[in-house]
């Protein structure tokens, strides 16, 4: 930690927002597609970051915050680069996952209704992950 920097407190931990996973929201009553199990989607959650990556991102964020006092412009530049790296990583992981989902149902010869139901559940989980995150 740079000289004069304060250790991260609870507000910093809440603000750094780097979650290792995005989990699906609990199914809404109006959601008709997929399983009737209340938390079936949670098991299908896409892991976004390894624990090592999450820690590395959080450490870099805390370092940028600590550097703000001595060099605000450099700290903001570091934060910008870090957010850009996290977004690129998320974009690549989401795109890969979407391709995997598409491959499950779009194979030559078609898919039966059960395979399509399973694909719809997977898309529902993924859709919820895209819209809602939890720390």
34-85 confidence digits (pLDDT tens): 433 444 454 466 788 889 999 999 999 999 999 999 999 999 999 999 999 9
Q: Is residue 24 predicted with pLDDT exceeding 80?
A: no
pLDDT of residue 18: 41
Task: Indicate yes or no: pTM above 0.85.
Answer: no
Q: Is residue 127 predicted with pLDDT exceeding 80?
A: yes
Q: Is residue 28 predicted with pLDDT exceeding 50?
A: no
Are 117 and 105 a contacting pair, CB within 8 Å? no
The two most distant CA atoms of the chain are separated, in Å, by: 65
Counting other chains too, the contacts that 54-57 makes at CB distance below 8 Å and 24 or more residues apart are 54/18, 54/19, 54/20, 57/18, 57/82, 57/85, 57/86
| Tokens representing residue 64 in the block | 């940028």
Report the C-alpha gap between 67 and 44 in whole angstroms: 39
Cα dihedral 43, 46, 52, 58 sign: negative
pLDDT of residue 87: 93
Is pLDDT larger for residue 109 or for residue 90?
90
pLDDT band at 1 (very low <50, low <70, confident <90, very high): very low
pLDDT of residue 23: 36
Instruction: Find how far residue 4's CA is from the centre of its chain.
Output: 33
Instruction: Find how far residue 100's CA is from the centre of its chain.
Output: 17
Are 5 and 71 a contacting pair, CB within 8 Å? no
């Amino acid at each position: 930690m740079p000289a004069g920097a304060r250790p991260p407190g609870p507000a910093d931990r809440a603000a750094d927002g780097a979650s290792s996973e995005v989990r699906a929201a609990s199914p809404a009553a109006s959601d008709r597609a997929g399983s009737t199990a209340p938390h079936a989607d949670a098991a299908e959650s896409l892991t976004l970051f390894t624990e090592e990556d999450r820690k590395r991102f959080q450490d870099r964020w805390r370092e940028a915050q600590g550097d703000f006092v001595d060099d605000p412009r450099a700290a903001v530049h570091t934060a910008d680069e870090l957010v850009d790296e996290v977004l690129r990583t998320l974009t690549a992981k989401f795109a890969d996952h979407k391709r995997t989902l598409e491959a499950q149902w779009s194979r030559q010869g078609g898919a039966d209704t059960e395979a399509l139901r399973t694909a719809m559940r997977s898309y529902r989980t993924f859709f919820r992950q895209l819209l809602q995150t939890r720390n």
